[in-house]
Structure 1
């Protein structure tokens, strides 16, 4: 059977034309898809600017479906889910990104950090800690360490918190010595006296300017019956951290009286009172003077204070010596009571006692050692 080559020659131009048409159709479809994808993306941005998160999510989902390889769209979608509180969907988006083999190292680290934030905001602290630990050595290392530090503080895992604080200090991310000293003081609580002494001594080495560890050591010495050593430690607090003096002034006066060193301690407290006019230091001075001169010394000290500083607290205490009606005295005491509280400088939370860490906002050293009336 002979094959007529004429048909082949006639078919070649036809095949070329059909191939050209097919390529044109493919290019046209590609341009249409490319136009639709940015359109959905910008539509989502527009919804975001108008704070229409539901519509923005729908638009980004549409864009991701049309271009599943675009990592930026996945990041935008995952962040939107997290902001809306849909943490399970945010986790799925970021885990899908991490599962991709074509992701660059920078994008992989970014996805790992986003996944850690999903777990953190969802309250899954153990999974967040594990995800943050995988960011060691990345550009997110410092942020991850700070987040882990917050987790350890929240779970009261003080040894781990101290370790992270030391890492941040070593890497030059700020001064974490005072916070690390607080962690050591927290660890000391409930330990044996020997272990407490070891941890508190280490805290003093880390942050000699912080008074908390010395105050705790003074309590240990007092419990052991060594009032002389306890007083020396508190006097060292006054020297190294004078702002903490109002917290220990009453104890200093009591120990000075017990160890018969009131004459040596009074000038120290007087110098501090002259510069600060602290109510607590005033009460301690009055106690020292009363032990030597009687109750009249207390009244004289209080009257002298009122001439320099108006104080409802002191006025209420002075009027107790007068023959006031009990209802009037009760009303004065009630009005003065809130003025004796301590206040957090970060969140304004007030409490009847001083905290080293605010129970409201968890800030360290945010409580002033001065009473509310003095602020």
Structure 2
């Protein structure tokens, strides 16, 4: 039996490579005679860029850029496809993990460093830029990225707004006359891991603002800021970004880049699987194991395990999903894609107890799963 192990990260516990390694270790320790291929996956969330670069044998270019508060931080962009395509991990320069708890303030944090990575990739000759936007600390509509590429945000008097994103309430005009012209010849692809729009109760401010330190008052202010931003973009470019699908990714950065730079917003996991030629690995497999921290009906909205399972089912392969949390009740929709869902916990536990035990629980569950398959055969 050849088993393809294709999990996403277990958030706050293990990255996707670590999860795959734990599952493989458990299977090989079982009584099941098998071979395994680890094929960790990403859907645009934190770590996806590194997975793409590693899988495709790319190289990393390290440089110093600004973190969300303007301090120097080391970050990288990756080269694939013989150096014509740059892969950028937004979290590397503008990530939530770069800030301490007391520093979280999405009215002040900026995505400028990610724009610096894009500018460096253009300097190196990039003809396409793949942006993985998960894990950002910002709700700035991508204005930091755009500012780093030469976009100027002006108030009614023609003065440049420098206090981004809070100053966008005064936004009257977007000046693109100094934008790096090389961007016009560069395809920009944004890998999206959620469907949330820019505005509204399911939008960037309401849903993701609190995760990045926004108080209820801040959420209202951020919503007003992004509303004004969207209004000006539509009046000047004709592109309506307020309710575009996945416009809320990375605090609205996806919408901002679509509106100003005509970036392409794509389903993250589908794009990842196609780019990394996942179907070739599937064709050689007898069983697929995927997973992430939680698998439920929301997984079917484009999360990584769903993308893996959907492609596996096109080849009639059995799929097993491992997760920290699975539905208590039967879910017919999930059963259409997953032959078995297993919660890896070994008993009731608080979150602060369960997270450190993730590796052990994954290995144990995979070992027992291998033993079960042996018994059934």
The TM-score by the shorter chain falls in which range?
under 0.3
Higher helix residue share: 1
As a proportion of its length, which structure holds more strand? 2
* Structure whose CA Rg is larger: 1
- TM-score, normalized by length of structure 1? 0.25
Indicate the structure whose relative CO is greater, using CA pairs within 8 Å and at least 6 residues apart: 2
Q: Normalising to structure 2: TM-score of the pair?
A: 0.25
